C-alpha cells in the first residue's frame, strides 16, 4: 500500500479561504486592515522570488502591504532606523525582514530590533521564550513549525502519546517544532526525540517514530528502512539538486527518499508541495493574529 500524500498546496488553499474570511471580519467589525511590511535588502534571486510570493498572498487577502526594497549597500544603522519607523507605525502589524542579509549587516541585531509585538516570523527571542512557556504565553509561532503542526493535525494524525522524532536542531525549524510537539494541548502531547549530526544510530531513532519530521538539509538522508510502517513523514528539506532548462526552475528534492518512503509510510508530504506552501500561509495567519492583538486595550 502506498502512503497518503499530505498536500500543503491543498491545505494552503483551504487556510487562505479561512484567513480571507477573518480579514473580512476584522475589517467590518473593527475597521482594521492587517498591515504587513516586507523588507528586502538587495536582489538575491531566491529572496526576490520568496518576497514576491509573500506580497502576492498578502494582497490576495486584502492586507495593507508595503513592499520596502532597499539597496544591497544600505548600512546596518539605516536598516535599524527603518525597522524602528515600522515599529512605531500603527498601520503595520507585521514586519518581515527577508533573510539572508548582506554580510556587512548583523542579522541577529536586525531581527532583535523588530518589536516582539510585530515579529510575525516568530524569530525574536521573546517570542521563542513565550513558545517555550506554551499555552496562553504563546504570541507568534515561527511559520514553518506552525505549518508542520497544521499539516499533522489536519491530516488526522494523532499526536497525543505519539513518538515524534525530529531530525535537525535549527532555531527556525528543529528546536521549535520539537518543543511544540511536546507541549500540552492540540497537536502536542507527544513524546519527542530531537536528533542531529552528533547523534549515534540516527536510523534506529527514526524507526521508532510514529511521526518523523526531517529538517536536516541533506537530500535523500532518510532511507525507506528508517521509516516505521504506517508512520506520518514530514519532509522539511528543500534541496536544489539540479536545474530544469525547459522550465528555467531549480529541481527540488527533500531530505527523504520520497519514492521509496511512500511504499512504507502511512502519510507523507511531497517536496515541493508539502511544507513549503504552509510557511507563507502561517505568516499571513500571524499577521492577522497581530492585528487582533493590537486591537486589545
Ligand atoms: N528566508 C528564507 N525563509 C525565510 C523566512 O521564513 N523568513 C524570513 N524573514 N526570511 C527567510
Structure letter (DSSP) for residue 159: -
Write the pLDDT tens digit of every residue in 21-53: 999 999 999 999 999 999 999 999 999 999 999
| CATH code for the domain of 165 | 3.40.50.720
Residues 146 and 265 in one domain: yes
- Please report the atom of ligand 1 found closest to the CA of residue 99: 10
Is residue 129 one of the residues assigned to a domain?
no
How far apart, in whole angstroms, are the C-alpha atoms of residue 8 and residue 128? 24
CA–CA separation, 123 vs 139, rounded Å? 11
Q: What is the pTM for the complete model shown?
A: 0.97
Residue nearest to atom 1 of ligand 1 (CA): 99
Pairing mode of beta strands 94-97, 35-41: parallel
Non-local CB neighbours of 92 within 8 Å, separated by 6+ positions: 35, 36, 37, 64, 66, 86, 118
* pLDDT interval class at 297 (50, 70, 90): confident
Identify whether the C-beta of residue 164 lies closer than 8 Å to the C-beta of residue 239.
Answer: no
17 in a structural domain: no
pLDDT in tens, 48-66: 999 999 999 999 999 999 9
* Residues whose CB falls within 8 Å of the CB of residue 110, separated by 6 or more in sequence, listed in order: 76, 79, 80, 83, 97, 101
The answer on 240 and 165 residing in a single domain is yes
Within this chain, do residues 103 and 182 fall inside the same structural domain, yes or no? no
In ligand 1, which atom is closest to the CA atom of 283?
Answer: 6
Catalytic residue among 118, 119, 121, 255: 121
Measure the CA–CA gap between 157 and 68, rounded to whole angstroms. Answer: 40
d(CA 264, ligand 1 centre) in Å: 32
54 noted as active-site residue = yes
- Tell me, what CATH number does 83's domain have? 3.40.50.10860
Phi-psi region of 209 (alpha: psi -120 to 50; beta: other; left: phi over 0): beta
Residue 1 is predicted with a pLDDT of 74
One domain, residues 168 and 266: yes
Burial classification of residue 271, based on how many CB atoms lie within 10 Å of its CB (0-12 exposed, 13-18 middle, 19 or more buried): buried
Q: Are residues 255 and 161 in the same domain?
A: yes
CA–CA distance, 270 with 126 (Å, rounded to integer): 33
Residue 266 resides in a domain = yes
| Whether the CB of 98 sits within 6 Å of ligand 1 | yes
Are 169 and 272 found together in one domain? yes
Assess whether 146 and 274 both reside in one domain: yes
208/268 same-domain check = yes
Contacts with 27 (C-beta within 8 Å, 6 or more apart), sequence order: 33, 62
- The C-alpha cell 524507526 sits at 207
Domain assignment present for 215: yes
Q: Is 170 assigned to a binding site?
A: yes
Q: Which residues contact 85 (CB under 8 A, 6 or more apart)?
A: none
| Whether residues 84 and 168 fall in one domain | no
- Residue 130 marked ligand-binding: no
Q: Return phi, psi of residue 95, to 5°.
A: -120, 125
Domain span at 55: 31-115
Same domain, 90 and 185: no
Q: Does 163 reside within a domain?
A: yes
11 part of a folded domain: no
Do 174 and 270 belong to one domain? yes
User: Is there a domain that residue 125 lies in?
Assistant: no
| Closest residue by Cα to residue 35 from 9, 3, 13, 67 | 67
Taking only the tens place, the pLDDT of each residue in 148-169 is 999 999 999 999 999 999 999 9
Which pLDDT tens digit goes with each residue over 116-151? 999 999 999 999 999 999 999 999 999 999 999 999
Which atom of ligand 1 lies at the shortest distance from residue 172's CA?
A: 6
DSSP 230-251: T-EEEE---EEEEEETTTTEEE
Q: For residue 32, which of 57, 64, 59 has the smallest C-alpha distance?
A: 64
Average pLDDT of span 253-260: 97
Q: For residue 25, is it within any domain?
A: no
Establish whether 168 is an annotated binding residue.
yes
* CA–CA distance, 16 with 8 (Å, rounded to integer): 12
Strand-pairing partners, residue 242, are 251
Residue 37 has, within 13 A of its CA and on its CB side, a CA count of 22
Query: Which 3-state string (H, E, C) describes 173-217?
Result: CHHHHHHHHHCCCCCCCCEEEEECCCCCCHHHHHHCCCEEEECCC
- 90 with 180, same domain? no
Total number of domains in the chain:
2
| Residue 49 labelled as part of a binding site | no
121 in catalytic set: yes
Label residue 295 by pLDDT band (50, 70, 90): very high
Amino acid at each position: 500500500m502506498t502512503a497518503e500524500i499530505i498536500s500543503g498546496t491543498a491545505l494552503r488553499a483551504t487556510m487562505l479561504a479561512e484567513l480571507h474570511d477573518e480579514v473580512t471580519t476584522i475589517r467590518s467589525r473593527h475597521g482594521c486592515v492587517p498591515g504587513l511590511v516586507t523588507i528586502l535588502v538587495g536582489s538575491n534571486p531566491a529572496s526576490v522570488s520568496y518576497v514576491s510570493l509573500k506580497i502576492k498572498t498578502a494582497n490576495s487577502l486584502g492586507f495593507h502591504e508595503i513592499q520596502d526594497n532597499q539597496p544591497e549597500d544600505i548600512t546596518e544603522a539605516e536598516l535599524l532606523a527603518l525597522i524602528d519607523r515600522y515599529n512605531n507605525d500603527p498601520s503595520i502589524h507585521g514586519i518581515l525582514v527577508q533573510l539572508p542579509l548582506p554580510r556587512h549587516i548583523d542579522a541577529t541585531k536586525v531581527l532583535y530590533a523588530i518589536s516582539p509585538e510585530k515579529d510575525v516570523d516568530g524569530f525574536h527571542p521573546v517570542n521563542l521564550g513565550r513558545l517555550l512557556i506554551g499555552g496562553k504565553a504563546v504570541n507568534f509561532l515561527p511559520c514553518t513549525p506552525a505549518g508542520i503542526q497544521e499539516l499533522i493535525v489536519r491530516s488526522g494524525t494523532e499526536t497525543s502519546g505519539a513518538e515524534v522524532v525530529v531530525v535537525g536542531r535549527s532555531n527556525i525549524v528543529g528546536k521549535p517544532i520539537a518543543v511544540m510537539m511536546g507541549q500540552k494541548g492540540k497537536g502536542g502531547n507527544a513524546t519527542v526525540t530531537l536528533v542531529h549530526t552528533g547523534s549515534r544510530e540516527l536510523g534506529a531513532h527514526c524507526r521508532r517514530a510514529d511521526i518523523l519530521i526531517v529538517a536536516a538539509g541533506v537530500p535523500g538522508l532518510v532511507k525507506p528502512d528508517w521509516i516505521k510502517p504506517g508512520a506520518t513523514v514530514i519532509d522539511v528539506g528543500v534541496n536544489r539538486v539540479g536545474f530544469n532548462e525547459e522550465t528555467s526552475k531549480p529541481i527540488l528534492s527533500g531530505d527523504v527518499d520520497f519514492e521509496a518512503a511512500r511504499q512504507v509510510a502511512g502519510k507523507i508530504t511531497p517536496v515541493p508541495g508539502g511544507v513549503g506552501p504552509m510557511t507563507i500561509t502561517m505568516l499571513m495567519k500571524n499577521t492577522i493574529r497581530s492585528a487582533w492583538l493590537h486591537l486589545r486595550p
